[in-house]
Structure 1
Amino acid sequence: MDKADDINTNRSAKITKPRVSIEYCPKCRWMLRASWLSQELLTTFEQDLGEVALIPGDVGVFVIKVNETLVWDRKQDGGFPEAKVLKQRVRDVIAPEKSLGHSDVKKDGDNNSSTKTKEGPICTTCPPN
């Protein structure tokens, strides 16, 4: 096997790993938040993820998916995820057996969810829906 075969084998392995997509509203200036969360996920799941994609989206959108599975929607979930909560939701989809250490959900059902508002933060840049 030559070097080109090694590279193609590595690419194939990455394709089979889960893909996280973070769709964000660029008009709301949420790219920095999206990129920070992508870094958190890539650091935590460095061997488990094949890709994290940042996708400029529609007005007011902030949606995170693993492949096609929705793990966070700003409008449904009431704001933005804490890194800890997002990691737990992603872990539950891609590697349920994986321990997240000190930031993991306690087995007694305490998931330490954050306080949320129904609509999330108000964006003064985007027009109302």
Structure 2
Amino acid sequence: MEISAFLLPKDQVAFITSSISMLEAMQQLEEHYYSAIPIIDDNNKYVGTLAEGDLLWKLKNTEGLSFENMGEVKVSDIQRHVHNESVEINAQMEDMLTLAADQNFVPVVDSTGVFLGIIRRKDIIEYYTRNIMD
């Protein structure tokens, strides 16, 4: 089965751009109750995922960085410790199980890398649970 049937489209997903500040990213994570959020560039291409831990490590390991000046640090300057692999929209659901084991969500892109949305781990697990029970 193609993954497009499980796609949560971009317009229903919170995401950030790599040009926003660390403070803005933290606010987005908090507002949406996310522990990680997709990052896209100015051309709408998926470039990675920012996790809460990435923010904490940046705060801990950057001398002089505090909550007061986090607005001066760009998301693009934050090292990401986890690589959330993306898949193309024409991938099969069978390709998703390995990714779902390590990722809360799987970013979905078109053939040029443009971010289309995500597939949640919950949806992948439900798909496999239904098929095992059949």
User: RCO greater where, 1 or 2, for CA within 8 Å and sep 6 or more?
Assistant: 2
Indicate whether the TM-score tops 0.5: no
Q: Compute the TM-score of the two structures, normalised by the length of structure 1.
A: 0.24
TM-score of the superposition, structure 2-length normalised? 0.23
Structure with bigger gyration radius: 1
